[in-house]
Structure 1
Amino acid sequence: MNSSSPQQGPRDDNQLFVDQFRQSSPYIRMHRGKTFVISCSGEVVDSPAFRHIVHDIALLNTLGIRLILVHGARPQVEERLALRNITTRLHNNLRITDHQTIQAVTDAAGHLRCQIEAMLSLGLPDSPMQGASIRVASGNFVTAKPIGIRDGIDFLYTGCVRRIDTESIGRLLDDDCIILIPPIGYSPTGEVFNMAAVELATQTAIAVNADKLIFLDDMHDIVDDGGQLIAQLSTQEAEQLRSLSTLCDEQKNIIDAAIRASRHGIERVHMISSRVDGTLLRELFIRDGCGTLIYADYYDTLRAADINDVGGILNLIQPLEEQGVLVRRSREHLETEIEQFIVIERDGMVIGCAALYDYPDEAMAELACVVVHPDYRGGDRGEQLLNKVVECAKQRTISRLFVLTTQTAHWFIEQGFLPGDADDLPQQKQQLYNYQRNSKVFVRNL
């Protein structure tokens, strides 16, 4: 036996860790040097899970991710108001902040700032942060102004963002600091304003041109009518969900913020629940994540194909058919199978397509004809097509997806497909397998 070859034995917990760590490595490389804004509600900060979340935030910092943490303080403010026998009102889920209330807000914000900074400073032996040396920076990064009178109601010391000091934030991020922003802002005249954390995080992400905006709350996941997690939504789909769904007010508020952020250039907005242990790590380093991703549309429409798309699909796939990359499909053949296709349309032009062929007896389906126009590659459109196909397959109770390819094996491996052979195919497909073409088989469990 070659001593340099790994010994094969029963899979144990250590091997499982090795496999999972290897699978996370593309995401580690992808996220390094990127700027993430994390919005953390006051309920999460108040929960027992927050200590573990802080450990995970520290780990993200160690992995080279530039982090801005915006925290809420609603339950902490309400606790202080109750102790002082002060009653305040909410209008449209926004607190009306009078002079007494703003004192409770600043008290809560100051306490939470110290608490979070202390937790990020831990470095005890035998703890997840052993040996950590994390710098946390907080300050008057947010210039605020009063939101004024709405619906005839004066919100007094409730404010909104006037300006974010992106220059100072950028310098501190370059120095590997974690930026901590409490839900308060300051005016040039020295006034302090109570800020809504969700809106503050959104405006901060837009101002610094963040790569991701992550909303971390203690709410339940966003699910479909069947109770299944909705893993991703385009901004258009998010708008439809917002108008049709019976979501709670806070979920609607976050979805509205996610849509605004997407329309201002934030490509990826994540909604995750603190009720899932390791929620940040799961969402960022596991392929399927654990929350709901809202992504920008960029004027593209991802939809089921219809008969009017046949010409556009033919124009898209013909060059690849001529190169031998795809099996030839006649117009007549395509017309009979058009219901199996999905397309990406941009300004009336089909710029991407994919097909899904079911083999229900074996709970399998074939992913075929995945094509993106050469002028529009590099924008995650292939991944969008794949994600839509996976979503459709799951709705049809398909448990395994397979693909045959001659030239794009690496892309499918990157998307979670594993190498297989002709014996892994459904019986009907095995009988049609073209051994002369010698396509490689890849399979992905759903």
Structure 2
Amino acid sequence: MTASEPDTFSAQDAPEFAPAQFVRWFREVAPYVHAFRGKTFVVAFGGELVSDGALNALIQDLSLLTALGVKLVLVHGSRPQVNEQLKLKGYDMQFGRGIEPTSPEALECAKEAAGEIRLDIEAAFSQGLPNTPMSHAQVRVISGNFVTARPVGVIDGVDYQHTGAVRKMDLDAIKSILNQSSIVLLSPLGFSPTGEAFNLAMEDLATHMAVALRAEKLIFLTRDHTIHDADGSVDTELAREDADALLASASLDEDTASFLEHASKAVKRGVARAHLVSYTQDGSVLLEIFTHDGVGTMVVEDTLDDLRPATIDDVGAIVQLIDPLEADGTLVPRGRAVVEREFERFTVLEHDGVIYGCVQLNPYPEEKMAEMACLIVHPEWQGSGEGELLLRHTESRARAMGAKRLFVLTTRTSHWFIKRGFVQGGISDLPKERQTIYNRSRNSLVFIKKL
């Protein structure tokens, strides 16, 4: 670099930089920022992430989450590092997946590995490089004896020695730290009231912590242990019952099954969402949290795409969906006051707390007809059958009201309705009350479907 060259790099210098796209993306992320501010996330990862050199990138993304008001508890594992220490010291044993006895020698290796990783994490959060997410961050990381452990004991005649299980956690201290905008860091070790140290499983510790804190999210960062569909694509959302059925099928490898089992257990015990995310993709945590489908597998008590009746609190989100279509002439301008007055006629489509679709149903009981209006799916989330879902739901609601025919008025989407069984009609086919308020200047086409 010469003296005349700038020592910083601006986003505008990138050939793919598009201001309008950036602004649109930033606005679309805003609902997630609002939804997760003040919420607690437990993020857990094994020692593989550290040995693969992915720690610094992760820390920068976690620093960004803290800047957005997310409360973070980090739980790290250390199995590869412990095994390396055992090998260097000439011991034959190696830790695999699952509960295994921890000898005094292995416990010393676990302490050394945990201490080394803890220092690496603290050092990474202490970075202050300009032009990175860590610039001016000043993130405080606090670890301590927050976890009381008990020995696993003797099982089927096998003494597990220093292998332990979580007994209780100092939740008051942990919450106090989180409320001070600091990050809590937990190593896979616990201590008994007599001062003994016990080796804990990272997955079990993270699950206990997420359940105890009633965390919004439990995120397991793995090398690549997400759930995949038959075509090889990531299954981005699993209902807990489906996850349990998949586990019962015994079709998963040992590592993936372990992570999915703990995710399911966390959700069953009250954690809102549990995620399996690959750390091999840059920014995977941010993509999982701030995009509609994410990049990992999310386990929930039930699927998050939720059709429900609108409430008065949804009016603002419905208006945001309607506004662009009113502006380009697709919909008749109606204003917020009309939506507030008629909100009970709306159904909304919600995903992870974000409303991205709606439909309105107006009954005309005397003619046994109903009108479907404001069928909208946000452009970013179209193409996955959401419109069909709203249509089927509206048809079902109309039948329940006693309607025999469902009609729509449209100026732009006639082919969409024709493909779905609607037949073109005329103004005279509308209910008399609807005929009196038909806007002839728009010359909307009438389509009717028998139910």
TM-score normalised to the size of structure 2? 0.68
Identity %: 36
Distance 2:168 2:60 in 1: 31
Contact 1:37 1:67 (C-alpha < 8 Å) held by counterparts = yes
**3-state DSSP class of the match of 2:393?**
strand
Contact 1:88 1:97 (C-alpha < 8 Å) held by counterparts = no
Question: Deviations 1:225-255 (Å, cap 9, x if unpaired)?
Answer: 2212111111110011112252111111111
Distance 1:94 1:420 in 2: 64
In the TM superposition, 1:74-93 aligns within 5 A as 74-88=79-93, 90=95, 93=98
Name the CA shift for 1:328/1:219 in 2 (closer, same or farther; >3 Å).
farther
Q: 2:361 aligns with which of 325, 333, 350?
A: 325
**3-state DSSP class of the match of 1:94?**
coil
Distance 1:364 1:112 in 2: 45
Deviation at 1:180, TM superposition (A): 0.4
Distance 2:106 2:422 in 1: 74
Q: 1:101 corresponds to which residue?
A: 106
Q: 1:183 corresponds to which residue?
A: 188
Question: Deviations 1:17-65 (Å, cap 9, x if unpaired)?
Answer: 2221111111011110000101111101222222111100000001000
Question: Matched residue pairs, number?
Answer: 337
**3-state DSSP class of the match of 1:271?**
strand
Unaligned runs of at least 5 residues, structure 1: 1-9, 303-318, 330-362, 375-403, 407-418, 441-446
Q: 2:7 corresponds to which residue?
A: none
Question: Deviations 1:134-171 (Å, cap 9, x if unpaired)?
Answer: 11110000000111122322111011001111000000
Contact 2:79 2:95 (C-alpha < 8 Å) held by counterparts = no
Contact 2:83 2:95 (C-alpha < 8 Å) held by counterparts = no
Question: Deviations 1:184-207 (Å, cap 9, x if unpaired)?
Answer: 111110111111000000001111
In the TM superposition, 1:74-223 aligns within 5 A as 74-88=79-93, 90=95, 93-223=98-228
Q: 1:401 corresponds to which residue?
A: none
Name the CA shift for 1:91/1:74 in 2 (closer, same or farther; >3 Å).
closer
**3-state DSSP class of the match of 1:95?**
coil
In the TM superposition, 1:28-427 aligns within 5 A as 28-88=33-93, 90=95, 93-297=98-302, 325=361, 366-367=388-389, 368-370=391-393, 421-422=412-413, 425=416, 427=418
Name the CA shift for 1:235/1:434 in 2 (closer, same or farther; >3 Å).
farther
Q: 1:399 corresponds to which residue?
A: none
Deviation at 1:15, TM superposition (A): 2.4
**3-state DSSP class of the match of 1:163?**
strand
Q: 2:317 corresponds to which residue?
A: none
Deviation at 1:327, TM superposition (A): 6.9
State the AA in 2 paired with 1:366. Answer: E
Distance 1:364 1:208 in 2: 34
TM-score normalised to the size of structure 1? 0.69
Out of 256-265 and 189-198, give the one that drifted further: 256-265
Deviation at 1:276, TM superposition (A): 1.6
Deviation at 1:93, TM superposition (A): 2.2
Distance 2:271 2:408 in 1: 34
State the AA in 2 paired with 1:191. Answer: E
Deviation at 1:260, TM superposition (A): 1.4
Deviation at 1:282, TM superposition (A): 0.4
Name the CA shift for 1:99/1:47 in 2 (closer, same or farther; >3 Å).
same
Deviation at 1:87, TM superposition (A): 2.1
Contact 1:39 1:214 (C-alpha < 8 Å) held by counterparts = yes
Question: Deviations 1:336-387 (Å, cap 9, x if unpaired)?
Answer: xxxxxxxxxxxxxxxxxxxxxxxxxxx997331437x99xxxxxxxxxxxxx
Name the CA shift for 1:38/1:420 in 2 (closer, same or farther; >3 Å).
farther
Name the CA shift for 1:40/1:11 in 2 (closer, same or farther; >3 Å).
closer
Deviation at 1:422, TM superposition (A): 1.8
**3-state DSSP class of the match of 1:366?**
helix
**3-state DSSP class of the match of 2:144?**
coil
Distance 2:362 2:288 in 1: 34
Distance 2:280 2:388 in 1: 35
Contact 2:63 2:133 (C-alpha < 8 Å) held by counterparts = no
Contact 2:74 2:185 (C-alpha < 8 Å) held by counterparts = yes
Name the CA shift for 1:91/1:64 in 2 (closer, same or farther; >3 Å).
closer
Unaligned runs of at least 5 residues, structure 2: 1-14, 308-343, 347-359, 366-384, 398-406, 428-433, 439-443, 446-451
Contact 1:364 1:426 (C-alpha < 8 Å) held by counterparts = no
Distance 1:238 1:151 in 2: 29
Q: 2:431 corresponds to which residue?
A: none
State the AA in 2 paired with 1:110. Answer: G
**3-state DSSP class of the match of 1:93?**
coil
Contact 2:40 2:71 (C-alpha < 8 Å) held by counterparts = yes
Contact 2:97 2:254 (C-alpha < 8 Å) held by counterparts = no
Distance 1:405 1:189 in 2: 73
Q: CA RMSD in A?
A: 3.4
Name the CA shift for 1:144/1:369 in 2 (closer, same or farther; >3 Å).
same
